[in-house]
Chains A and B, each alone.
Chain A
Amino acid sequence: MPEVLDCRGMRCPRPIVEMAKKMKTMEPGQTLELWATDPVAKKDVPAWCQKTGNTFLGEELGQEYFRFLVQKK
């Protein structure tokens, strides 16, 4: 089961900042599920993964928020 980080209602760059903090507490290979409502996160999360070397596993668009899956490097 992935760890869930609820960043709904937060605006850029808070979801990325919260994700970076959360990642520091996780083990390599663990998966994080990030929830966000800010549409900018659709661009920010994959870009953050590319820059930091973490693995972007995909996204799902729900009716009210985005769900991103990221695996820690």
Chain B
Amino acid sequence: MSQQAEQESCGDQCVIDLSKRQKKVPTESQGDGRATLIILTQGTYGHHDDGFSAIQVGSALLAEEERATLLLLEDGVYFASRDQNPSSLGLPNNLRYIQDFLELGGRILALDTSLRRRGLSPEDLVPGVEVIPPSRMLKEIEAHHASVTF
């Protein structure tokens, strides 16, 4: 199995080879603004505070005209489920906040291996969420100035 193929099949686990990491330099797509990567690893409403806090931090950064990307890993992929409805739990629906985040120019990425392990497909997610392979995840980490994990 090639190294690329091994990366693609590593499931939720992702090992970063520090010896292959290059010096961090701003990418063209990043522009001049500060870019923050917000990593969410918890499910939507079972860990309400985590998901809710993550998207609020992201929207606040975007409101201040910074760049923000929300990366959904492991159970975090449930956060962007298309048909979520927590009304029976008495909680506000995160869909509104996801829409705000996207409207302000934020990007939401979901790891495809985390999706597949949970029996989800890209069609199960809110429109606008981009599904990425593990190899792309490493590039995204490289391309941001800072990251915060919820």
Where chain B touches its partner, the secondary structure class is helix
Closest residue of chain A to B62 (Cβ to Cβ) is A20
> Given A51-B65, A52-B65: A21 and B60 within 8 A (CB)?
no
CA distance A30 to B141 in the complex (A): 38
CA distance A44 to B62 in the complex (A): 14
Chain A 4-35 interface 0/1 with B at a Cβ cutoff of 8 Å (1 = within) = 00000000011011011100100000000000
Chain A 49-66 interface 0/1 with B at a Cβ cutoff of 8 Å (1 = within) = 001100000000000000
- A21 to B100, Cβ gap below 8 A? yes
B-binding residues in A (CB < 8 A)? 13-14, 16-17, 19-21, 24, 48, 51-52
CA distance A17 to B58 in the complex (A): 10
Closest residue of chain B to A15 (Cβ to Cβ) is B63
A12 CB to nearest B CB, Å: 8
Closest residue of chain B to A53 (Cβ to Cβ) is B65
- B56 to A21, Cβ gap below 8 A? no
A-binding residues in B (CB < 8 A)? 56, 59-60, 62-65, 100, 103-104
CA distance A20 to B63 in the complex (A): 5
Can you list 17 A-B contacts with CB-CB less than 8 angstroms, sorted by A residue number?
A13-B59, A13-B63, A16-B60, A16-B63, A17-B56, A17-B59, A17-B60, A17-B100, A17-B104, A20-B65, A20-B104, A21-B100, A21-B104, A24-B104, A48-B64, A51-B64, A51-B65
Instruction: Please name all residues of chain B whose beta carbon is closer than 8 Å to the beta carbon of A14 when the two chains form the complex.
Output: 56
Query: What 4 pairs between A and B have smallest CB-CB spacing?
Result: A20-B63, A13-B60, A17-B59, A16-B63
Instruction: Please name all residues of chain B whose beta carbon is closer than 8 Å to the beta carbon of A17 when the two chains form the complex.
Output: 56, 59-60, 62-63, 100, 104
Instruction: Please name all residues of chain A whose beta carbon is closer than 8 Å to the beta carbon of B103 when the two chains form the complex.
Output: 21, 24
Instruction: Please name all residues of chain B whose beta carbon is closer than 8 Å to the beta carbon of A51 when the two chains form the complex.
Output: 64-65
CA distance A48 to B61 in the complex (A): 11
Instruction: Please name all residues of chain B whose beta carbon is closer than 8 Å to the beta carbon of A19 when the two chains form the complex.
Output: 63
Instruction: Please name all residues of chain A whose beta carbon is closer than 8 Å to the beta carbon of B63 when the two chains form the complex.
Output: 13, 16-17, 19-20, 48
Closest residue of chain A to B63 (Cβ to Cβ) is A20
B96 CB to nearest A CB, Å: 11
CA distance A13 to B66 in the complex (A): 15
